Amino acid sequence: MQEKEIIDGIIAGNEAAFRELVHRHQSMVVNVCHQFLQDPEDAHDVAQEVFIEVFRSASRFRHQSKISTWLYRIAVNRSLNYLRKKKRHDWIERLDDLIAMKSFAPLEKSPEENREQMESLQVLHQAIGSLPEKQRAAITLSFFEELSYKEIADILKITVSNVGVLINRAKKGVQEKVLRYYGKHYRAL
Amino acid sequence: MKCKQIHRQLTGNIEKTLDPVIEKKVTEHLSTCSKCFFLYERLGETLSMAGKQSRLSVDPFFYTRLMARMENEQAPVARKRIISLQPVFMSFLILLSVAFGIALGGGANLLNPTSSSQIRIENIQSYSKQLGFNEMDQEYLEQTLLLNNDKE
């Protein structure tokens, strides 16, 4: 089924078209939400909201971008809204859950190396989580979804050069926080 | 270059995006400063984690749960309508039951009240005659008995 057929089908109330859309993009949507929310249950919850919004607003889709770009945009906005509403600044606690749920696939290394990797991942998420929203969105899409600046620009509805600016600032912010964390760590050693 | 200046260039050095001259200075500094080298390694390890995080597997019942949620979100609208119409419906039921009660308890008389009340009075009078409940008859009997007593 072509993208246009899917959207037209959804507008016409064809459930098979909607099911096709969900099956094609559910993994991407759930994972984008998960990158922002760092909680599998919340990620599934918000991903459902994304698809409900798609179902309700399919008639407003103008086919000027790919469906995936549209879905990314809704997923990012919904995730940020969710965080705003819940005022979740307890990222560190959530990361403990994340590690407990084995969302991170440990490499075949010694327990000490695994512990270091877990710590690094925790520090990275903590650093990204403390960034301003736009920077967080841009760097998450770049780091974790490995999207190009052009794709990120389409999703966030900003220019490519603005994406570059946001990502550079985000990287500086992340670098600063990571160095501050390990700077204290170094003194403790 | 001082340590602080080096720190600003560490991400660039990891990503190999630095100017070759600056990159050389950073590399030289890292080979002599243990703290900066430690931070450089930790930063590199941390940034590399972005690509190593595994993808979250989607709930196999994701679509089923999504459809159930969509149905549930539509249901409250209908439920709200029912709730808002409930007082009207209850009032109607009360009125209906009152009307039914009236009809059952002789409501038919309402259609012709005069004739029905006359019939009812006649019925009562005939019953009372049969059972000896007529007050006038009783009085007459009592008086007769009293008169008989007086004669005796």
3-class SS string, A30-84: HHHHHHHHCCHHHHHHHHHHHHHHHHHHHHHCCCCCCHHHHHHHHHHHHHHHHHH
Single-letter residue type at A10: I
Higher pLDDT, residue B104 or A125? A125
Q: Over range B115-144, report the average pLDDT.
A: 68
Q: What percent of chain A has pLDDT over 70?
A: 84
Q: Over range A1-20, report the average pLDDT.
A: 90
pLDDT in tens, A30-86: 999 999 998 999 999 999 999 999 999 999 888 888 999 999 999 999 999 998 887
pLDDT in tens, B21-53: 999 999 999 999 999 999 999 999 998 888 777
The yes-or-no verdict on residue A131 having pLDDT over 70 is yes
B151 within some domain: no
Residue B57 — left, alpha, or beta (φ > 0 → left; ψ -120 to 50 → alpha)? Answer: beta
| A55, A92 contact by CB (below 8 A) | no
Per-residue pLDDT band at A154 (split at 50, 70, 90): very high
* B117 and B105 in a common domain: no
Domain range for A163: 89-189
Per-residue pLDDT band at A140 (split at 50, 70, 90): very high
pLDDT score at A106: 47
* A127 and A74 in a common domain: no
Total of domains in chain A? 2
Q: Of B8, B40, B42, which to mutate for an interface test with A (greatest number of A Cβ within 10 Å)? A: B42
Cα–Cα distance measured from residue A84 to residue A53, given in angstroms and rounded to the nearest whole number: 18
The reply to whether residue A186 touches residue B38, judged by beta carbons under 8 angstroms, is: yes
ipTM over 0.90? The verdict is no
pLDDT in tens, B84-96: 777 888 888 999 9
Single pTM value for the model: 0.67
DSSP B80-127: HHHHHHHHHHHHHHHHHHHHHHHHHTTGGGGGSHHHHHHHHHHHHHHH
pLDDT score at A107: 47
Which of the residue ranges A85-89, B2-6, B24-28, B122-126 would you say has the lowest mean pLDDT? Answer: A85-89
Quote the minimal CA–CA distance from A158 to chain B in Å. 24
Domain range for B103: 62-111
Higher pLDDT, residue B24 or B78? B24
The yes-or-no verdict on residue A179 having pLDDT over 70 is yes
Q: Over range B10-25, report the average pLDDT.
A: 91
Rg (CA), chain B: 52
The enclosing domain of A93 has a CATH number of 1.10.10.10
* Chain A residue with Cα closest to B51: A144
The yes-or-no verdict on residue A88 having pLDDT over 60 is no
B75 within some domain: yes
* A22 and A47 in a common domain: yes
B150 within some domain: no
* A112 and A93 in a common domain: yes
pLDDT score at A115: 81
Total of domains in chain B? 3
Domain limit, last residue, from A32, A64, A87: A87
pLDDT score at A82: 92
Quote the minimal CA–CA distance from B109 to chain A in Å. 59
pLDDT score at B116: 64
pLDDT score at B1: 72
Which among A143, A144, A175 has CB closest to B43? A175
The reply to whether residue B45 touches residue A117, judged by beta carbons under 8 angstroms, is: yes
The enclosing domain of A68 has a CATH number of 1.10.1740.10
Cα–Cα distance measured from residue A39 to residue B16, given in angstroms and rounded to the nearest whole number: 33
